[in-house]
Structure 1
Amino acid sequence: MTTPSFGVGIGWRPEISGFVADLPGLAFTEVVAESVPSSGPLPAPLAALRGKGAAVVPHGVKLSLGGAEPVDPARVAHLAAVAERLGAPLVSEHIAFVRAGGLEAGHLLPLPRTREAVDAVVANVVRTQAELPVPIALEPIAAIFDWPDDELDEGAFLTEILDRTGALLLLDIANVYANARNRGTEPTDLLGRLPLERVAYVHVAGGAEHDGIYHDTHTDAVPREVLDLVGELCARRRPPALMLERDGHYPPAATLRAELDAIAAASGYPVIT
């Protein structure tokens, strides 16, 4: 499936909505799907972005595609409605679980990379795709541990899910770096085992190390190593849409602009600031 290239964007958050709205030539952004109402007025800043022609991608965080239980039809219906309201070209969600037995974890939790887990994810993605008006891109998460009963490496696990569902890949390049650093492996090794032709767009985010573990915080500056991975990715395939992901501790506007410019420089895109 061919996906459009929207250059460099930034995740829309209420705290930086003014900054996002003022970016010249912004072609795309992403919004947390659960924060957008399925009916009634859209948040005015999002409506303004749509009026300017920017693509807005709903990004789900609560479907629990990796759960053993079937996805909640009401949550799928909400995601579909938000995609329709925003005229979105696609939606995205995580390969993770967030609930079990009626309990909410409040966090994206990693799956054991087993064939049983592959079957569970595939079943939930297929259920979700049946209700969506647009394609879905699946995002592998950052994890600070691997389950002891893993049967597949991360590349094989992701590729089988994508092949069986036909879904696109939301590649979080910061997660690739975090997982490799915590496992003591080379992040470029994983890039070589992924179907990069299926990448719909890419998250770029910062992190920090605490007690010897690197955490994908989304509240720190993007490190040089992640920018280098952006360059490596763009050398291996046509540069995809790249999105700066920030979820707190928002720096001054000049700092955000500098991060966007650094991502553009690493990818070969023109700066948007």
Structure 2
Amino acid sequence: MRRVSGPTGVGLGWRAEIDRTVEALVGRGAADFVEVVAEDVHAAAPPASLERLRARGVTVVPHAVSLSLGGAEELRTDRVDHLAAVAAALDAPLVSDHVCFVRAGGLESGHLLPVPRTRDALDVLVANVRAAQDRLPVPLALENIAALLEWPDAEMGEGAFLAELCGRTGVGLVLDVANLHACAVNLGQDPARVLDDLPLEQVAYVHAAGGVTGPDGLYHDTHAHSLGEPVLALLADLLDRCSALGRTPAVLLERDDRYPSDDELAGELALLRRAHRSRVAP
């Protein structure tokens, strides 16, 4: 299986609300690369902030949320083509989306919905991933999602499901440790077992984010809270495993709401930097 190469170091999600903050943190050396939601970018006229970052040699990774690769409906090639155009405009080394579906019966859910872990669903996902790969100018990586529910009659665990997806398509992984924690709380999954089953050599880069457990007992991946200890512990476990394989994937901090001060964001990035640097493979 060919490994998908990703960015290096520590990254931060670029958002229009904090564009100057992101630029400043990159300038301070707190972040090495950025990720942008692809649907928020007009390929013919990317935001000036992203253009400035690119002019400084900063890697920008487009991260899509609307391809619905796990859906049974016909793939929206216009959305794939938009992602391809954004990748070209930003000179991106790869692009990413999610193992999920967002559309069914002609309706858009507005949420990333889990794919049934069955052979039939996997066949659909594989076909859509291959079709998307054929239209993209750069490699594709896919992210595990934070699920609040799972479909009955699963035929394999999440790690085995993702491993077979990678094996059949060569797609990379954006491994979100906060989402692993969410599925541990919400679905009773064992994150260590998921990591055992995953092809860690296919991890292009890693996501980390904060969340909160609600009064319903469910963990909500809000991207609006500070990094929690369980997420950092999973990150450490993942990086240890990857380092043992001779590689240490980049780690990106996601923040989408309730933005803290620049110094607080820098502090969170420093936490990720220490975890990453201490496990950089020789």
> Normalization by structure 2: what TM-score?
0.92
- Cα separation, 2, equivalents of 1:252 and 1:108: 29
Mapping of 1:47-196 within 5 angstroms? 47-196=51-200
- Cα separation, 1, equivalents of 2:188 and 2:68: 28
- Cα separation, 2, equivalents of 1:2 and 1:61: 20
Q: Percent identity?
A: 54
Matched, 1:239 2:248: yes
Equivalent position of 2:18 in the other structure: 16
Determine if contact 1:94/1:138 at 8 Å carries over to the other structure: yes
- Structure 2 unaligned segments of length 5 or more: list them: none
With 141-150 and 163-172 compared, the bigger mean Cα shift is at 141-150
- Structure 1 unaligned segments of length 5 or more: list them: none
Shift of 1:155: 1.0
Equivalent position of 2:231 in the other structure: 226
1:62 is aligned with what amino acid? Answer: S
- Cα separation, 2, equivalents of 1:225 and 1:268: 19
- Cα separation, 2, equivalents of 1:235 and 1:5: 18
Q: Secondary structure at the match of 2:93?
A: coil
Q: Deviations over 1:197-248 (max 9, x none)?
A: 0000010001100121111111111101111111111111122110000111
The alignment's C-alpha RMSD in Å is: 1.4
Q: Secondary structure at the match of 1:157?
A: helix
> Normalization by structure 1: what TM-score?
0.95
Shift of 1:3: 1.8
- Cα separation, 1, equivalents of 2:4 and 2:65: 25
Equivalent position of 2:41 in the other structure: 36
- Cα separation, 2, equivalents of 1:31 and 1:269: 27
- Cα separation, 2, equivalents of 1:186 and 1:147: 17
Shift of 1:184: 3.0
Equivalent position of 2:262 in the other structure: 253
Matched, 1:207 2:214: no
Shift of 1:183: 2.8
**Cα separation, partners in 2 of 1:203 and 1:167, compared to 1, 3 Å:** same
Determine if contact 1:8/1:269 at 8 Å carries over to the other structure: no
Q: Secondary structure at the match of 1:144?
A: coil
Shift of 1:185: 4.1
Determine if contact 1:93/1:137 at 8 Å carries over to the other structure: yes
2:15 is aligned with what amino acid? Answer: R
Shift of 1:131: 0.6
2:136 is aligned with what amino acid? Answer: L
Equivalenced residues, count: 269
- Cα separation, 2, equivalents of 1:107 and 1:144: 11
- Cα separation, 2, equivalents of 1:185 and 1:15: 35
Equivalent position of 2:222 in the other structure: 217
Determine if contact 2:160/2:194 at 8 Å carries over to the other structure: no
Matched, 1:197 2:207: no
1:265 is aligned with what amino acid? Answer: R
Q: Secondary structure at the match of 2:8?
A: coil
Shift of 1:38: 2.2
1:108 is aligned with what amino acid? Answer: L
Determine if contact 2:159/2:193 at 8 Å carries over to the other structure: no
Q: Secondary structure at the match of 1:130?
A: helix
With 53-62 and 23-32 compared, the bigger mean Cα shift is at 23-32
Q: Deviations over 1:75-108 (max 9, x none)?
A: 1110100000000000000110101121111111
- Cα separation, 2, equivalents of 1:111 and 1:185: 15
- Cα separation, 2, equivalents of 1:30 and 1:145: 27
Q: Secondary structure at the match of 2:197?
A: coil
Shift of 1:2: 5.4
